[in-house]
Amino acid sequence: MKILDSIGGLSGLKGPIVLAAGTFDGVHLGHQALIRRAMEEASSCGGTAVVMTFDRHPASLLRPEKAPKLLTRNDEKISLLKQREIPALLMLEFTTDLAGVPARDFIELLVAAAPLHAFCVGQEWFFGKGGEGNVALLKSLGKEQGFEVIQIDPVVAAGSPISSTRIRTAISIGNLADAAFCLGRPYLLSGAVISGAGLGSKIGFPTANLDIRGMQLPPNGVYLVKVFRGGATLSGVCNIGLRPTVDVSAMAPIVEVHLFDLSADLVGEKLFLEFLKFLRPEQKFTGLEELKEQIAKDCSEARAILGA
């Protein structure tokens, strides 16, 4: 898969171009349907299918206080798109300059860069300054500029459309089964291991703290998790929460995982967590000794489940 970072890069691809446009956060079943349709259209016209997206959710720049939590980081999104065998990805840096480009001008930039055969979009794709461009405007511009607009209907499951919003909501309330169903794969939380206070090691249960800034999290609590570290698969217990026993001032959840049978320094490594079972809610203990006893019970319960 060729990865382009500018509209001008489209000129180096075999035309005509079929663009699949969207945020593609999660690359869920709805996104996959959009990509398949773009690839089918490109095959029929002898051209190249290209996924077009941004390097960040537009709201993170324009309305940061309302920006949705993410399901996938860019590197994961790229990896998932590669699995769909899409020939090319156009990932544009979303800047204030790009955000200020009028809708018509944005489309004209694309048309000028390469022969554009078709746009494949969902029902709620918006583009251009202030999100002024919608599917109706895109169809009007298509008639003017000579490209087709293929609008993809939502993929519906269990009576509701599959969307990134639905998946975020499912994760936030702990319905990881619905999240996995909509994604077409298990939900994985990823993050690089960062340095912590070292308290876990002091009480006999060393933990890897993850950088999960901007990511959608399941509810606070303790979970049995499967952990993917490079090519290795490990198991452990994960705590998501404010750690009320040891930190009364915490304002944002911390994700820390104790890995069974591993004591290596993982700082800087990237881990992927699959949540297998919710063990208990987060709670405040009277002190470190009671916390240590409970962690030991959590680990015993987790190991028993794994051995069942």
Residue 136 backbone phi and psi in degrees, to 5: -60, -45
How far is Cα 59 from Cα 307, in angstroms, rounded to an integer? Answer: 45
**Mean pLDDT, rounded, of the chain:** 93
Pick from 27-41, 142-156, 201-215, 245-259: least confident: 245-259
Give the pLDDT mean for 20-35. 96
- 308 band by pLDDT with thresholds 50, 70 and 90: low
Q: Which residue has the tokens 């800034």?
A: 213
**Is 90 exceeded by the pLDDT of residue 223?**
yes
Asked if residue 246 lies in contact with residue 199, where contact means CB atoms within 8 angstroms, the answer is yes
**Is 90 exceeded by the pLDDT of residue 15?**
no
In percent, the amount of the chain with pLDDT more than 70 equals 99
Q: Which residue has the tokens 């952990």?
A: 227
Give the pLDDT mean for 264-292. 90
Interhelix angle 176-183/164-172, rounded to 10 degrees, is 160
pTM value is 0.92
* Upstream peptide bond of 253 is cis (omega within 30 degrees of 0): no
3-state secondary structure of 83: helix
**Is 70 exceeded by the pLDDT of residue 306?**
yes
Residue 134 backbone phi and psi in degrees, to 5: -130, -175
The length of the chain in residues reads 308
The confidence score (pLDDT) of residue 148 equals 97
Of the candidates 242, 258, 253, the one whose C-alpha atom is nearest the C-alpha of residue 302 is: 258
- 248 band by pLDDT with thresholds 50, 70 and 90: low
Element housing 239 (H / E): strand 232-241
Lookup: tokens for 216: 């959608």
Give the pLDDT mean for 79-106. 96
How far is Cα 24 from Cα 32, in angstroms, rounded to an integer? Answer: 9
User: At a CB cut-off of 8 Å and minimum separation 6, what does 156 contact?
Assistant: 162
**Is 90 exceeded by the pLDDT of residue 307?**
no
Asked if residue 210 lies in contact with residue 256, where contact means CB atoms within 8 angstroms, the answer is yes
CA 173 to chain centre: 17
- For the stretch 124-173, pLDDT in tens is 899 999 989 999 999 999 999 999 999 999 999 999 999 999 999 999 99
